[in-house]
């Protein structure tokens, strides 16, 4: 059987869904692995690295022969036209609110797996693309903030005077937020953080940052069984805004990462809060692609407000550290794919009763099969 790794077609996508290491292992299982020429270029993996690992270098049209397609982004309709009916496609599918795209995938007859729906259970940790990519996004958000900031982050006591440490506030402390705290601390910033989930409090303290939050009854119930945040009530949001407003006004750097699965990102920073910050302050909105946490953030842009605050809204932040992101993403895909490989038969064998398959399979046999998204097929 053939596994195909295309070059991503989105102009803003530098990542690739395989690494020389994962290719080597798939070849070891007896698959014919074909990598589209230039697929790894954005991640500094050259064609020769893939051929050395046992792959053949091909072109986009080779997708037609593939039994498995490994991708970063959901295939476009044009790409789907080039796939064999029945092929398995593994990617970050961005399924919420994209019913038409899911229907197109069903119509193409492919068995599509949304890697971001992988359950967060111990067995699937190695397949968790949200974590592997969010961790790098959290790191890169601090690097981007430091780049836009026109002062130094650490306190420096020199003969010529003292540079104060940058005050940095991290809003939303999941995987990305934790790495943002750690990175900002490594650079010498003074770090505070907030979240709505109580479990975060201890994690923030263990990283040497100060935790600030409205800790009422709703806060105590804010974590879902899946480990994510619930959407908070209007009342809570008002209390949260009142608590954070003065704090934000005093910050040099604010990084927001707050998300709610399947919902628009919560608004955490109003235009008035942005206006309260000093000129030269920097806000990075990591949620900008999901509606944004910050009033005035523009996807794909660095905006400077009238009062001189920069709001950074870079797209695809993990893709800004593409070489690292691809390495981890490729490993996530490989780990999941491996569970579906019949090593005797040297072929894909999908167990539709497996909990990981059930959780991630979006389309199969011409239909949208995932219970959360099945209406898209109608």
Q: Which residues bind ligand NAD (CB under 6 A)?
A: 120, 125, 128, 130-131, 134, 171-177, 194-197, 199, 227-229, 232, 257-261, 266, 268
Residue 128 is among the residues annotated as catalytic for this protein:
yes
Catalytic annotation present for 96 = no
Q: Smallest gap, in angstroms, from Cβ of residue 335 to ligand NAD?
A: 13
CB of 360 to ligand NAD, least distance (A): 15
Q: How far is the CB of 223 from ligand NAD (least distance, A)?
A: 7
Pick 177 or 318: Cβ nearer ligand NAD:
177
From the candidates 85, 125, 221, 233, give the one annotated as an active-site residue.
125
Q: What is the closest distance, in whole angstroms, from the C-beta atom of residue 208 to ligand NAD in the complex?
A: 18
Judge whether 94 and 112 are in contact, CB under 8 Å: no
Residue nearest ligand NAD, CB atom distance: 174
| Catalytic residue from among 120, 123, 186, 263 | 120
- Secondary structure E strands in the chain: 2-5, 32-36, 56-58, 68-73, 88-92, 111-114, 156-158, 161-163, 167-171, 190-194, 210-211, 253-256, 282-285, 302-304, 310-312, 341-342, 347-348, 361-364, 367-368
DSSP secondary structure string for all residues of 233-244: PHHHHHHHHHHH
Active site residue 228: yes
Q: Is residue 147 flagged as an active site residue?
A: no
Q: Quick one: 145 or 171, whose CB is closer to ligand NAD?
A: 171
Pairing of strands 347-348, 341-342: antiparallel
259/231 Cα distance (integer angstroms): 9
In Å, how far are 212, 252, 267 from 277, measured between CA atoms?
18, 8, 17
Catalytic residue among 14, 131, 240, 276: 131
Q: Which is nearer to ligand NAD, 131 or 281 (CB)?
A: 131
Both structure tokens of 317: 């932040």
**How far is 16 from 131, CA to CA, in rounded Å?**
17
> Is 131 noted as a catalytic residue in this protein?
yes
- Active site members: 120, 125, 128, 131, 228
């Amino acid at each position: 059987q053939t596994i195909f790794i295309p070059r991503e077609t989105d102009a803003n996508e530098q990542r690739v869904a395989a690494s020389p290491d994962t290719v080597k292992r798939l070849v070891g299982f007896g698959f014919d692995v074909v990598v589209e020429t230039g697929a790894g270029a954005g991640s500094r993996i050259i064609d020769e690295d893939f051929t050395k690992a046992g792959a053949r270098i091909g072109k986009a049209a080779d997708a037609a022969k593939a039994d498995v397609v490994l991708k970063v982004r959901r295939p476009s309709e044009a790409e789907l036209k080039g796939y064999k009916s029945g092929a398995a496609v593994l990617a970050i599918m961005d399924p919420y609110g994209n019913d038409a795209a899911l229907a197109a995938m069903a119509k193409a007859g492919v068995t599509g797996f949304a890697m971001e729906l992988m359950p967060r259970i111990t067995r699937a940790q190695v397949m968790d693309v949200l974590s592997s990519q969010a961790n790098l996004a959290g790191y890169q958000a601090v690097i981007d903030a430091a780049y836009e900031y026109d002062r130094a982050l650490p306190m420096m006591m020199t003969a010529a005077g003292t540079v104060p440490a940058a005050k940095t506030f991290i809003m939303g402390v999941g995987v990305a937020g934790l790495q943002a705290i750690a990175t900002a601390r490594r650079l010498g910033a003074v770090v505070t953080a907030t979240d709505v989930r109580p479990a975060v409090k201890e994690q923030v303290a263990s990283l040497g940052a100060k935790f600030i939050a409205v800790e009422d009854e709703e806060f105590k119930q804010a974590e879902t069984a899946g480990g994510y945040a619930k959407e908070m009530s209007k009342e809570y949001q008002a209390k949260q805004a009142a608590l954070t407003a003065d704090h934000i006004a005093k910050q040099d750097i604010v990084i927001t990462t707050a998300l709610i699965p399947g919902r628009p990102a919560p608004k955490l920073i109003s235009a008035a809060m942005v206006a309260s910050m000093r000129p030269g302050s920097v806000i990075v909105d990591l949620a900008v692609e999901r509606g944004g946490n910050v009033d005035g953030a523009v996807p794909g842009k660095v905006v400077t407000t009238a009062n001189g605050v920069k709001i950074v809204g870079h797209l695809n932040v993990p893709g800004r550290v593409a070489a690292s992101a691809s390495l981890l993403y490729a490993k996530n895909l490989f780990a999941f794919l491996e569970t579906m490989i019949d090593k005797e038969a040297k072929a894909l064998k999908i167990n539709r009763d497996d909990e990981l398959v059930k959780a991630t399979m979006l389309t199969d046999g011409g239909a949208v099969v995932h219970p959360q998204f099945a209406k898209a097929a109608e």
